[in-house]
Chains A and B, each alone.
Chain A
Amino acid sequence: MRATISTLPIKFDRVVLAVGDIVILDEVSLAITAGMPTALIGPNGAGKTSLLRLAMGLMAPSAGRLTWNGMPEALCARNAFVFQHPVMLRRTAAANLAFALAAARVERSRRRRRVDELLALVGLDGMGSRPARRLSGGEQQRLALARALAKDPEILFLDEPTRSLDPAAAKATEDVIRTVVARGIKVVMATHDLNCAKRLAGDVVLLHRGRIIETGPAATFFTAPRTASAAAFLAGDLLL
């Protein structure tokens, strides 16, 4: 770890996000703390992506307070984000990683080795010289993970990491996430895949229409949800 200041916990205090007339997040209060992964679940349009972006500091809330370890500004250098549709630069896979390393101010002499390490970490060894955009969907997802990890982040935000991946690719991605968690990196992921959340999450946050329906440890949430809406959602009903 290069910087010593932690940005956790991230505290949302009655945060509102509105774009024009549309309210995306409606008085969300939440604390993201260090430890096991936090899964944001909920139907499409619930506001999961927006919540992640706010937590990363990519957007500012329209109202309410957002603090990172008590600080009003996110230290983006400590955190990394993998978007739902990650965009690769028009270069080789290795060059993409090198670019991320450069942006993270890693010394040139160390970059080569780090690129190889990161590629190995996500199971893409030997693919460094392939054009990044020619990789399969699953491979690009893992490359995006590797690119995010180049920063040596404290928190890793993942937006739908296994959506549109076939089971094999999804498994490979989940394995990487487990490795990342084992290294002590805090993972916050938005996912539509309840089973993935079951497999990986330590805490769960259920979001619906911009509001938090329920939060809690994964163990109890999936077996005994407290709210009726959560129970309905888990049962497979469409929340309206």
Chain B
Amino acid sequence: MSQDPSALALVLSADPSLIAIVRLSLFVSLSAVLVAALFGIPLGALVALSKFPGRQLAIVVLNALMGLPPVIVGLALYLLLSRSGLLGGLGILFTPRAMIIAQAVLVTPIIAALSRQTIEDLWLEYRDEFAAMQVGPLGRVNALIWDARFSLVTALLAGFGRAAAEVGAVMIVGGNIDGFTRTMTTAIALETSKGDLPLAMGLGLVLIAVVLAINALAWIARRQAERFAE
């Protein structure tokens, strides 16, 4: 970022380093949500549909993990990925890959807990019909996930919102390296500590715009759900 006095103008002028930061933020958070969905939705479906001892406890834990503090995830992952940590040999500390992993860890419980809720509610509703139609386990899971698609998309968007807005995890495992692991949130933190508050606010506005766009998507998804629901 240049030391331009009209830093706000910088934000509005599509400065290439700003684009790179926004691009990285989207890339990291979107990838994290994708990974989280791959793990979270099946996990949520599993807990929703199977009976096992300690199931209620599992649900409570899953819901509680939604509130996992990002900075703790960052710290734990840092210790794991550090060269002296268990996975140090991978050498991915201070890279976007580590940031994706950190955010995926943060977001998976959100997606899992929300999908579990949605799928379980739907399952209770569809249960009798599935029994009468003799739908097999795979057919049930597919049907539930498909019918829950809009709520699941809303869960994904909630996960994305969390990922895009957090700074603790990506700061620690990414290192906020200029041009490499600097995201919108870490850039805002940096510019604030440099005392460049207008620039920090400008970046903040970009971040808010992204979050608003996400919420618009969520709204559209809900509208679509209503079309089929009642």
Given known contacts A102-B139, A103-B139, A58 and B126 CB-to-CB distance under 8 angstroms: no
Contact with A along B127-155 (1 / 0, CB 8 A): 01101111110010001001100000000
Contact of A133 among B133, B136, B229 (CB under 8 A): B229
Contact of B228 among A58, A99, A133 (CB under 8 A): A133
A91 within 8 A of B: yes
Shortest distance between the CB of A87 and any CB in chain B (Å): 5
Q: Which residue of B lies closest to A92 (CB)?
A: B228
B139 touches A83 (CB 8 A): no
B131 touches A83 (CB 8 A): no
B132 touches A58 (CB 8 A): yes
Given known contacts A103-B134, A133-B230, A134-B230, A86 and B147 CB-to-CB distance under 8 angstroms: no
B4 within 8 A of A: no
A151 within 8 A of B: yes
Is chain B's binding surface mostly helix, strand, loop or mixed? helix
Given known contacts A77-B134, A103-B133, A131 and B227 CB-to-CB distance under 8 angstroms: yes
A100 touches B133 (CB 8 A): yes
Q: Which residue of A lies closest to B140 (CB)?
A: A103
Q: Count how many chain B residues have C-beta atoms less than 8 Å from C-beta atoms of the other chain.
A: 19
Q: Which residue of B lies closest to A81 (CB)?
A: B132
B143 touches A89 (CB 8 A): yes
A90 touches B147 (CB 8 A): yes
B147 touches A83 (CB 8 A): no
User: Which residues does chain A contribute within 8 Å of B125, judged by CB atoms?
Assistant: 87
User: Which residues does chain A contribute within 8 Å of B136, judged by CB atoms?
Assistant: 103
Contact of A83 among B128, B134, B228 (CB under 8 A): B128
Q: Which residue of A lies closest to B128 (CB)?
A: A83
A28 within 8 A of B: no
User: Which residues does chain A contribute within 8 Å of B133, judged by CB atoms?
Assistant: 99-100, 103-104, 147, 151
A56 within 8 A of B: yes
Centre residue among B133, B136, B147 by max chain A CB count within 10 A:
B133
Q: How far is the CA of A91 from the CA of B142 in the complex (A)?
A: 13
User: Which residues does chain A contribute within 8 Å of B229, judged by CB atoms?
Assistant: 90, 133
Contact with A along B100-137 (1 / 0, CB 8 A): 00000000000000000000000001101101111110
Shortest distance between the CB of B84 and any CB in chain A (Å): 51
User: Which residues does chain B contribute within 8 Å of A87, judged by CB atoms?
Assistant: 125-126, 128-129
Q: How far is the CA of A87 from the CA of B136 in the complex (A)?
A: 18
User: Which residues does chain B contribute within 8 Å of A86, judged by CB atoms?
Assistant: 129
Contact with A along B218-230 (1 / 0, CB 8 A): 0000000101111
A55 within 8 A of B: no
Q: How far is the CA of A89 from the CA of B122 in the complex (A)?
A: 10
Q: Which residue of B lies closest to A87 (CB)?
A: B129
A89 touches B128 (CB 8 A): no
| 10 nearest A-B residue pairs (beta carbon) | A81-B132, A90-B228, A90-B147, A103-B133, A131-B228, A103-B135, A87-B129, A76-B134, A89-B147, A100-B133
Chain A residues packing against B (C-beta within 8 Å): 56, 58, 76-77, 80-81, 83, 86-87, 89-91, 99-100, 102-104, 131-134, 147-148, 151
Chain B residues packing against A (C-beta within 8 Å): 125-126, 128-129, 131-136, 139, 143, 146-147, 225, 227-230
Beyond the given A77-B134, A90-B229, A91-B228, please list 13 additional residue pairs across the A-B interface where CB-CB is below 8 A.
Answer: A76-B132, A83-B128, A83-B132, A87-B126, A89-B147, A90-B225, A91-B146, A99-B133, A103-B136, A103-B139, A104-B133, A134-B230, A147-B133
